[in-house]
Amino acid sequence: MNAMSASAIDTEPRAIVEVEGVSKIYPGGTEALNNISLDFPEGQLTTLLGPSGCGKTTLLKIIAGLIPATTGAVRVDGRTVTGPGPERAFVFQDFALMPWATVLRNVAFGLELRGVARSEREAVAEQYIGHVGLKGFEKAYPHELSGGMRQRVGLARALTVNAKVLLMDEPFSAVDEQTRRKFQEDLLELVARERKTFIFVTHSIEEAVYVSDRIVLLSRRPSRVSQIVEPNIPRHADPEDIRRDPVYLDTVEEIWQGLKKYLDEGI
């Protein structure tokens, strides 16, 4: 499967995030991204996958409006990105929680910044704290939680602002393996329930194939789009069955073969 066959599908949803000819050269001359053009279909989970240091996170932060692109443009919902906006929310690799604030205040923080009244924003926050499975921890502080629970707080915070696009920067990489699997299953549920657009960065092939509707493979730095894979895995099946599904295993293998050449080059 490649980009050609993907665009041939008739029922293709509209692209909510459009990346057009984006390059990024850092001061000092490091070229992170080289002329990347990509569309992210609405309501799907698209994963950016590539060898470490390939600029996946850079691309995600350009979409978030945290870093300016050197050339090219990003459009979200038809508008060109010049900075962060309320239609995008971000989940950080290191959680980025305020250690001095309770779970409740952390989750409600996006709404607090928008000036939503306390009782109102806390009601919304409590609802999402429940959704991510942290009911009863509203008054806890981040240092009292495990890594996995902290990331659930980060996820709830991103959901609370009701953004159309959720940007997730290796959200599960700082979480242990068991918690990670549970997280991936919960993420699938979340995608099905929230009907938001997810852009997900990971370096784990298995994780990418398990959670994604669409996987964008990036090459080594300076990154280009090397391949787009759409794993056609039955999502409603039992999690254990998915991980044993031949399509799942074949897709993992296909991507591994695609990425291996970059490893060989690297060595």
Partner 1 sequence: MTLNIFGGKIRVPMFCSLIIWALLWEVVGQSGASFIIPPLSAVFARIVEIVPTASFADALWITGKAFLLGNLIAVAFGVPLGVLMGRSIIADRIFLPWVNLFLSAPLTALVPVIMVIFGLGETTIVMTVVLFAVWIIVLDARAGVRGITPSLAEMAKVFGANPWQAFSKIYIFAALPELLSGVRLGMIRAVKGVVIGQLLVSIIGFGRLFELYSSRFLMEHFWALLFVLFAFAFTLNEVLAWLERKVDYYAATRHQ
Residue number with CB closer to partner 1 (169 or 206): 169
- Rounded Cα distance between 6 and 15, Å, is 13
Helix (H, G, I), strand (E, B) or coil at 2: coil
* Inter-CA distances, 57 with 44, 142, 236, 237, Å: 19, 24, 29, 31
Chain positions 146 to 205 lying near partner 1, rule: CB under 8 A, are 150, 157, 161
- Pick the binder of partner 1 from 143, 193, 240, 266 (CB under 8 A): 143
Give yes or no for residue 95 binding partner 1 (CB under 8 A). yes
# residues contacting partner 1 (CB under 8 A): 30
- Pick the binder of partner 1 from 110, 171, 222, 231 (CB under 8 A): 110
* Inter-CA distances, 97 with 37, 84, 100, 157, 236, Å: 32, 18, 9, 9, 33
Give yes or no for residue 66 binding partner 1 (CB under 8 A). yes
DSSP state of 223: B
Q: Which stretch binds partner 1 (CB under 8 A): 1-9, 111-119, 212-220, 223-231?
A: 111-119
- Pick the binder of partner 1 from 2, 14, 37, 114 (CB under 8 A): 114
Give yes or no for residue 98 binding partner 1 (CB under 8 A). yes
- Pick the binder of partner 1 from 57, 92, 140, 235 (CB under 8 A): 92
CB atoms within 10 A of CB 15: 16
- Rounded Cα distance between 260 and 129, Å, is 40
CB contact at 8 A, 17 and 198: no
- Pick the binder of partner 1 from 81, 97, 175, 201 (CB under 8 A): 97
Binding positions for partner 1, rule: CB under 8 A = 61, 64-66, 83-86, 88-90, 92-100, 109-110, 112-114, 142-143, 150, 157, 161
